[in-house]
Amino acid sequence: MKVAVVGATGMVGEVMLQILAERNFPVTELIPVASEKSVGKEVEFKGKKYKVVGLQTAVDMKVDIALFSAGGETSLAWAPKFAEVGTTVIDNSSAWRMDPTKKLVVPEINGSILTKEDKIIPNANCSTIQLVMALAPLHKKYKIKRIVVSTYQSITGTGVKGVQQLENEYSGIQGEMAYKYPIHRNAIPHCDSFEDNGYTKEEMKLVRETQKILDDRTIAVTATAVRVPIVGGHSEAVNVAFENDFEVNEVRSILHNTPGVVVQDNVDTFTYPMPLYAQGKDDVFVGRIRRDESQPNSLNMWIVADNLRKGAATNTVQIAEYLVKNNLV
């Protein structure tokens, strides 16, 4: 199993390498890939050093699977070139997500839609993945009509620049700004660029990707995405309206029995999800589960996950695992 990691020197790429090792993915040959300026650098994988190669070199090597985390432009330009030589690309950018010919996959929810013919498989947005992980089993049972989600998103979602800005501000250092405003002691209601409707791309990803993954365009979704000075993961306050009524204890039971979801929900012991404890873990944590007393058939919950892991690298590797397990690659 020849595996290329495209963007191996970036923040998500480094986590991908870590997760491939942790989960003992069957890598017989690892090919770390990055931009020309990183060619020749070394990355470590399972105690061995590997030299970074360029994109064309990796294409010529005809790898089995290429895990991409190198930005949308790179994905649009290079994913088809890898696919042409028979490589299955799993892409972590937003480039292919809403392409009607591509399947948007969270393996626990809809991995079964994948076939051998799927050579470019987009990975969903980090905030969408944790949202649908918690909502998919509830949608099956009660049918979702509407979702209102407010996100509190880690600076790691912006990459190294976001982390550096916060560290600089902690230390009183003037440096490069990843955001238009200081992030230390601040909350910025602006993730990604604004679209014509006044929503940001991040907010609209939550709308479009949720409908696509749950395979239901009738679900109404509205979102507000906020950047906060947090490192450990993304948090979401979610209000869901269902067609059918529910019992809160049954909701907890359904979530408790959902693979990849951990319920942390006991107000008597002050147990609820927090990014501080989600960091470095692959699960999606759900708590503060309670009925919305202002609307019929409505529920409030709080969802937290490490955006670099389940929100990005882990989900990408899980897609690859699904393909290998089912002989689709």
**Res 51: pLDDT:** 96
pLDDT bin (cut points 50, 70, 90) of residue 264 is: very high
| Strands ordered across the beta sheet of 88-91 | 29-33, 2-6, 65-68, 88-91, 120-122
Q: Is 315 annotated as ligand-binding?
A: no
CB 248 within 8 A of CB 289: yes
- Tens of pLDDT along 191-227? 999 999 999 999 999 999 999 999 999 999 999 999 9
Report the run of H or E that residue 129 belongs to, with start and end.
Answer: helix 126-142
Domain 2-124+312-325 matching CATH 3.40.50.720: the answer reads yes
Q: Is 146 annotated as ligand-binding?
A: no
Q: Is 153 annotated as ligand-binding?
A: yes
**Res 36: pLDDT:** 87
Residue 260 corresponds to which tokens in the numbers above? 């990849």
Tell which residue, 17, 52, 36, has the closest CA to residue 320.
17
Catalytic residue among 139, 184, 190, 234: 234
Q: Is 227 annotated as ligand-binding?
A: yes
pLDDT at residue 232 greater than cutoff 90: no
In Å, how far from its chain's centre is CA 67? 14
The pLDDT > 70 percentage for the chain reads 100
**Res 296: pLDDT:** 97
Write out the residue limits of the CATH 3.30.360.10 domain(s) in the chain.
Answer: 127-307
Is position 234 annotated as part of the catalytic site? Answer: yes
Domain 127-307 matching CATH 3.30.450.20: the answer reads no
- Tens of pLDDT along 45-94? 999 999 999 999 999 999 999 999 998 999 999 999 999 999 999 999 99
Write out the residue limits of the CATH 3.40.50.720 domain(s) in the chain.
Answer: 2-124+312-325
How far apart are the C-alpha atoms of 75 and 120, rounded to whole Å? 10
Q: Is 37 annotated as ligand-binding?
A: yes
Catalytic residue among 126, 184, 191, 256: 126
Give the CA distances from residue 22 to residues 26, 237, 317, in Å, rounded to whole numbers and listed in that order: 11, 31, 11
**Res 89: pLDDT:** 98
